[in-house]
Chains A and B, each alone.
Chain A
Amino acid sequence: MESQDVPHWIALLQPIADDEWIIAHRGSEWLGLAPDLEEDLAFSSINQDKMGHAQYYYALLEELGEKTPEDMVYGRSKEQWRHAVVLETAHGDWARLVALRYFYEVFDALRLERLSTASWQPLQDGVRKIRREEAYHLQHFTTWFEMLATGTEESRHRLREAIADLWPLLGGLFLWGPSEHFLTAIGLDSLRGSELQRSWETHVAEKMRSMDLPWPGALSSPVLDGRLGEHSPDMHDLLQVMTEVRRSEPAAHW
Chain B
Amino acid sequence: MDEAQKTAEFMARIENGEKIEANDWMPEEYRNLLIKQIHMHGVSEIMGAYPEKEWVPKAPSIRRKLALNAKVQDEIGHGQMLLRLAEDLSRPYGRGREALMEDLLNGHVKFHNVFHMPAPTWADAGVIGFLVDGGAIITQAALLESSYAPYARMLKRIVAEESFHMQYGESVVLALAEGTTRQREMLQGAIDRWWEPMMFFFGPRQMGQSAEKMMHYRIRTKTNEELRQKFINRYVPRLQALGMRVPDPLVKKDPVTGEWGYTEPDWVRDTEMVRNNSGPQSQARLHLRRQAHSEQRWVREAVMHATALATV
A residues lining the B interface (CB < 8 Å): 25, 28-29, 31-38, 40-41, 44-45, 47-48, 51-52, 55, 69-70, 73-74, 94, 143, 146-152, 154-155, 158, 241-242, 244-246, 248-249, 251-254
Q: Count CB-based A-B contacts (< 8 Å).
A: 145
Q: Which of A33, A241, A251 contacts B291 (CB 8 A)?
A: A33
Per the 8 Å Cβ criterion, residues 163-216 of B in contact with A are 172, 175-176, 178-180, 182-183
State the Cβ distance, B302 to closest chain A Cβ, in Å. 3
Pairwise interchain contact A69-B62, C-beta atoms closer than 8 A: yes
Check if B65 is an interface residue, CB within 8 A of chain A: yes
Known A38-B80, A254-B60: A155·B298 in contact at CB below 8 Å: yes
**Interface: B22 (CB within 8 A):** no
- Contact, CB under 8 Å: A28 / B50: no
The reply to whether B76 and A40 contact each other, CB–CB distance below 8 Å, is yes
Query: Are the C-beta atoms of B305 and A32 separated by less than 8 Å?
Result: no
Q: Separation in Å of the B168 CB from the closest CB of chain A?
A: 13
Q: Are A48 and B69 in contact (CB under 8 A)?
A: yes
A29 to B59: give the CA distance in the assembly, Å. Answer: 12
Task: Please state if A32 and B288 are interface contacts (CB–CB under 8 Å).
Answer: yes
**Residues 277-308 of B contacting A (Cβ, < 8 Å):** 288-289, 291-292, 296, 298-307
Give the complex CA separation of A189 and B183 in angstroms.
50
Given the contacts A41-B73, A48-B66, A253-B179, A28 and B298 also touching, CB distance less than 8 Å: no
The one of B53, B57, B307 in contact with A25, judged by C-beta atoms closer than 8 angstroms, is B57
Residue from A34, A35, A55, A244 having most chain B Cβ neighbours under 10 A: A35
B contact residues around A151 at 8 Å (CB): 301-306
Judged by a CB distance under 8 angstroms, whether B46 is at the interface is: yes
Point out the residue from B58, B64, B292 that lies within 8 Å of A33, measured CB to CB: B292
| Cβ–Cβ < 8 Å partners of A29 in chain B | 56-57
Interface flag for B122 (CB, 8 Å): yes
Q: Do B58 and A31 have beta carbons less than 8 Å apart? A: no
- Can you list 18 A-B pairs with a CB-CB distance of less than 8 A? A31-B49, A31-B69, A32-B50, A33-B291, A37-B76, A40-B80, A44-B72, A48-B70, A73-B62, A148-B306, A149-B310, A155-B301, A246-B60, A246-B61, A248-B182, A249-B180, A249-B182, A252-B180
Query: Which residues of A sit under 8 angstroms from B58, Cβ to Cβ?
Result: 241-242, 244-245
Interface size class of B (residues with CB under 8 A): 35 or more
B residues less than 8 Å from A149 (CB atoms): 306, 310
Say yes or no for B77: interface residue by CB 8 A criterion: yes
Chain A residue at minimal CB-CB distance from B122: A245
Q: Which of B73, B302, B307, B312 has the most CB of A within 10 A?
A: B302
B79 within 8 A of A: yes
State how many angstroms separate the Cβ of A9 from the closest Cβ of chain B: 21
Q: Is B83 interfacial (CB 8 A cutoff)? A: yes
In the complex, besides A31-B69, A44-B70, 14 extra interface pairs with C-beta distance below 8 angstroms are A25-B57, A31-B53, A31-B56, A31-B76, A32-B289, A35-B292, A44-B73, A44-B76, A48-B73, A74-B61, A152-B301, A241-B58, A245-B60, A246-B60
User: Which residues in A have their C-beta under 8 angstroms from that of B172?
Assistant: 254
**B57 with A147: CB separation less than 8 A:** no
Q: How far is the CB of A100 from chain B (nearest CB, A)?
A: 15
CA distance A25 to B59 in the complex (A): 11
- Min CB distance B260 to A, Å, is 32
Give B residues with C-beta under 8 Å from A.
Answer: 46, 49-50, 53, 55-62, 64-66, 69-70, 72-73, 76-77, 79-80, 83, 97, 122, 172, 175-176, 178-180, 182-183, 288-289, 291-292, 296, 298-307, 309-310, 312
Establish whether residues B69 and A154, one from each chain, have CB atoms under 8 Å apart when the complex forms. Answer: no
Contact of B73 among A31, A245, A251, A254 (CB under 8 A): A31
Find chain B residues with CB under 8 A from A254 CB: 60-61, 64, 122, 172, 175-176, 179
Q: Shortest CB–CB separation between residue A37 and chain B, in angstroms?
A: 4
Query: Given known contacts A245-B58, A249-B183, A254-B61, is B310 in contact with A147 (CB within 8 Å)?
Result: yes
What residues of chain B lie closer than 8 Å to A44, measured between beta carbons? 69-70, 72-73, 76
Q: Contacts of A245 on B, CB cut-off 8 Å?
A: 55, 58-60, 122
Q: Pick the contact of A32 from B59, B76, B298 — CB < 8 Å?
A: B76
Docked pose: A146 CA to B306 CA in angstroms: 8
Measured between C-beta atoms, what is the minimum distance from B245 to chain A in Å? 21
The residue of chain B having its C-beta at the shortest distance from the C-beta of A148 within the complex is: B302
Q: How far is the CA of A119 from the CA of B55 in the complex (A)?
A: 40
A34 in contact with B305 (CB, 8 Å): no
The residue from B55, B66, B79, B309 contacting A150, defined by CB atoms under 8 A apart: B309
**Candidates B80, B296, B310; contact of A146 at CB < 8 Å:** B310
